[in-house]
Amino acid sequence: METNDLFNLLHNALEAQRNGKKISQKEMADQLGLSMRTYQDWRLGNTKPQSAKAVIEMLGMLEDDEIIRVVRKINKLKG
């Protein structure tokens, strides 16, 4: 799976979580603290943040309950 596939999968999952309400690339970029161009390039596969694929692969090695624990801890640290 390519890095852009991961970003598209996550973007679509976030939209689905909002009952199909679309999230613009600008809105997502703002939430992530990125320029819209950077986020757009990631989704198109024009550029690939090196750590993204490794982070997703590491999360994929965890059991479901551990993934939830780690993500919740990340959310607490950023807030």
CA–CA separation, 37 and 5 (whole Å): 17
Length of the chain: 79
Return all residues near 25 (Cβ < 8 A) that are at least 6 apart: 36, 39, 40, 43
pLDDT of residue 40: 94
* Mean of per-residue pLDDT scores for the chain: 90
Could you tell me the two tokens for 64?
Answer: 């479901």
pLDDT for residue 3 is more than 90? no
Reply yes or no on whether the pLDDT at 69 is more than 90.
yes
Query: How far apart are the C-alpha atoms of 18 and 21, rounded to whole Å?
Result: 5
The C-alpha atoms of residue 73 and residue 14 are separated, in whole angstroms, by 19
Report whether pLDDT(61) > 70: yes
